[in-house]
Amino acid sequence: MLPAESTIALDEEIKQLKEQGFSEEQIAAMLSYREQYTTGLYKDESPEYRRLDFIRWLYTTGKIED
């Protein structure tokens, strides 16, 4: 459950978005994307970048050598 301050801030954000002309559906989509992004579910990283990041981790932890 969200703290009262977070709920008030969210209500204010929604109010501002409505004032700027966003529809209910657009606001819901933006809030959903933000939730996915902040929880790490939405990643723009390519598979190649993730592989390179893993190899970098292997090297820095000493699991592989050059």
Q: What is the pLDDT of residues 2-41, one digit of tens each?
A: 556 577 788 999 999 999 999 999 999 999 888 887 777 6
The pLDDT value recorded for residue 28 is 93
Q: Which residue has the tokens 């992004």?
A: 37
Give the span between the Cα atoms of 28 and 30, in whole angstroms. Answer: 6
Give the span between the Cα atoms of 36 and 44, in whole angstroms. Answer: 12
The pLDDT value recorded for residue 39 is 76
The pLDDT value recorded for residue 48 is 87
The pLDDT value recorded for residue 42 is 62
Within 10 Å of residue 9's Cβ, how many Cβ atoms? 12
Residue 13 or residue 66, greater confidence: 13
